[in-house]
Amino acid sequence: MSMSTPSTAPAPSPGVILTGDRPTGPLHLGHYVGSLCNRVKFQHTHRQFIMLADAQALTDNMDDTGKVHRNVMEVALDYLAAGIDPSLSTILIQSQIPELAELTFYYLNLVTVARLERNPTVKQEIALRGFERDIPAGFLTYPASQAADITAFKATLVPVGEDQIPMIEQTNEIVRRFNRVAGREVLVEAKALVPEVGRLPGIDGKAKMSKSLGNTINLGASADEIRAAVKKIYTDPLHLRVADPGHLEGNVAFIYLDAFDPDQAGLAEMKAHYVRGGLADSLVKARLEACLQELIGPIRTRREALAQDRGHVLDLLRAGTAAAREVAARTADEVKAALGLRYF
């Protein structure tokens, strides 16, 4: 049977995405803006793997392995509640795919110690965690592990912050080196996908929303927790009386409204009023609280419902991990065959 084909060629495949989180705590609004929203969009247009990086999280949590275990379920609940659809995205648990460790093992032969030590992201994280000379080796070799994760799924796009771009470059160096050893294109290079939306500050005005700073609003926050957080939110320290002109720069209430208020025209009017003077912080906060209650309410409700049937969530994780493992095992096979490690 012959059919006339449409004149336009089929669109090229938009690519494979690898993304994920270290399960060390519940996800918050920072994750929502910075990555979850994009994942919910991309799952309709891209093949998307979302990794619960539990093995990676152990690197600096060997003193509290239980935390990592518990948070695999918590983060999975956050994913599903926020709209990640396991029939569109493949959610996987890193530690359940031994092939990722295998690839890491071989990639360690393709990168020198000096090169790892020069990696700016590694350098920065070492400083941040105060490791200095007592870095666990697994921390130094993290770029090889990340290269394993990315290449195992032949990911071509990796959503990362600007500061993580050197990690993707490191992966691509390993890819090129491996392909040179193999004498053919076994692995594919990946591109960093830097989100347009900047990082969401913490409710205290600090640059980063982070569990350890206690300045987050979690995706599972109760109505009371949202209310309390908005009450504490950092606004304009110079805006002492209602009549005073207010400032928008660094004003977290307005930064959040920019991110979450669906009525941006109404928000623009409110901003103008605030800058002129005569608008109380309490009114700005009331608007923000309404937005956040509306955003988080349905997520929390879905989350609570899902949490009632953790067995079902585990089934989803099991299925996603099995599907992902098939892909990773195929890559590990190709990699090992290219290294002459196929005998039977």
Q: How far is the CB of 140 from a copy of itself (least distance, A)?
A: 5
Residues of this chain, 301-320, that bind a copy of itself according to CB under 8 A: 314, 317-318
**Nearest distance from residue 269's CB to a copy of itself, in Å?**
50
How many binding residues for a copy of itself (CB under 8 A)?
52
> b/e for 258-278, b at 16 or more Cβ within 10 A?
ebbbeeeeebeebbeebeeee
Cβ nearer to a copy of itself, comparing 78 with 289: 78
Site for a copy of itself in 36-95 (CB under 8 A): 54-55, 58-59, 62-63, 65-66, 68-69, 72, 93, 95
Structure tokens at 172: 């691509």
Find the angle CA(214)-CA(167)-CA(317) to the nearest 5 degrees.
65
| DSSP letter assigned to residue 218 | B
User: Of these, 43, 89, 90, 104, which contacts a copy of itself (CB under 8 A)?
Assistant: 104
Name the minimum Å distance from CB 133 to a copy of itself.
5
What element of type H or E holds 320? helix 310-338
Residue 184 is a binding residue for a copy of itself (CB under 8 A): no
State the residue for tokens 């928000």: 267
CB 134, CB 120: distance < 8 Å: no
Tokens of 77: 């609940």
Residue 204 Cβ, how far from a copy of itself at the closest point, in Å?
Answer: 31
Please give the Cα distance from 8 to 27 (Å, whole number): 42
Could you list the residues that contact a copy of itself (CB under 8 A)? 54-55, 58-59, 62-63, 65-66, 68-69, 72, 93, 95-96, 98-99, 101-102, 104-106, 108-114, 116, 133-141, 144-145, 181, 314, 317-318, 332, 336, 338-341, 343-344
